[in-house]
Structure 1
Amino acid sequence: MNETRGTTHPRDHFEISTLVSGFFRTMDERRFDEGWAGAYFTDDLRTTTPLGIAEGADAVRHIEEATGRFAATLHISSDLLVRAEPGARTASASWNAHMTHVHLDSTLQARGENANPLFTVGGVYEAKLRRTASGWRFSHMSVRAVWTTGEPPVLPAETATRVAKLTGAQAGR
């Protein structure tokens, strides 16, 4: 993302930074109560992840399901860059993320006694945002892994097959 210095109002940067931090905290604390997504996303949210593309309610469900594949997670964001013209209704943002995932006991049991309990990812998020009556909300969010350590979670068969087709990887890991 190219950022032009001096165009983003400090208030917009602060509000978007708070949105990013709140979203990560919600995932880590698993606060997926009814209506949680309205605090972070537009109704037409589109997500792009290593597991594919999802839109609307499916994108929200995908986030909840992906988080639920782990016993615990910790997402840390840094180097937030925001581009929003003063008074604009749209913005773009990118940030680095360090994401640590603790595998479920069932994953560790499936992999055997020497299984690594952690799957760690260093990645980059890119987002498009819209200013709504309730504040800034993500309308598109993508994450790209730059590096990983450990193994990803054991995926349901249908998801593993879809990922294998997308990535050319072996299904069923």
Structure 2
Amino acid sequence: MNEMSSTTNLLDHFEITTLISGIFRTMDEQRFDEGWAEAYFTDDLQMTTPLGVAEGADAVRHLEQAVGRFSATLHISSDALVRAEPGARTANASWNAHMTHVHLDSTLQARGEGADPLFTVGGIYEGQLRRTDSGWRISRMSVRAVWTTGEPPVLPEETATRVAELTGAQASS
């Protein structure tokens, strides 16, 4: 491997891991200003979560709504593995995440005294990225929960029904 390709790989890795950290920071600070997603995602983003698959603007709204179901979140990413050939227009990445979610007061009140205020997830993200004129952007992203503690958020009825259909579980809102 020559010096130029080594430098390119390090730069790509740095840019992609910085992008991942930026997404998580934006989610945790709930900074969803108009056009915020353009800094992180392609227009044709496809996102896969335990709640299903969403594409484009729907995927962005799905992400905003998911974070909005909590009063606070803290997402920590680690062990990013980036696979990009020097000068390539595409890359793949995977990373581990520890995601802590603080339930809304309304959720805790609905669940009653002694309700656990936290829902914590350990998961693995997979992403496909494209190099654009503005830098690397994620075009496909999926998250898979490896473990959870606490109860997930109270979901709107239509979302709970959709999750039940996807998982074969009984719907509860």
The TM-score range, normalised by the shorter chain, is over 0.9
Please show how residues 146-161 of structure 1 align to structure 2 within 5 Å.
Answer: 146-161=146-161
| Alpha carbons 1:45, 1:139 under 8 Å: kept | yes
Is the 1:46–1:53 Cα contact (8 Å) retained in structure 2? yes
SS in 2 for 1:169: coil
AA matched with 2:170: Q
How far off its partner does 1:169 sit? 1.5
Unaligned runs of 5+ in 1: 1-5
Identity, % of aligned positions: 82
| Other-structure match for 1:30 | 30
SS at match of 1:171: coil
Query: Which amino acid is 1:171 matched to?
Result: A
Encode CA deviations 1:63-92: one digit per residue, 9 max, x unaligned: 000000000000000000000000000000
Unaligned runs of 5+ in 2: 1-5
Tell me, yes or no, if the aligned pair for 1:8 and 1:82 is still in contact at 8 Å: no
* Farther-moved stretch of structure 1 (20-29 vs 162-171): 162-171
- TM score, norm. by length of structure 2: 0.95
Considering only aligned residues, what root-mean-square deviation do their CA atoms show, in Å? 1.2
TM-score by length of 1: 0.95
Which structure features the higher share of helix residues?
2
Residues 1:151 and 1:8: Cα distance change in structure 2 (over 3 Å): farther
Matching residue of 1:115? 115
Aligned to 2:3: none
Deviations 1:26-84 (A, max 9, x none): 00000000000000000000000000000000000000000000000000000000000
Spell out structure 1 runs of 4+ moving beyond 3 A. Answer: none
AA at the equivalent of 2:120: T
Aligned residues: 168
Deviations 1:133-170 (A, max 9, x none): 00000000000000000000000000000000111112
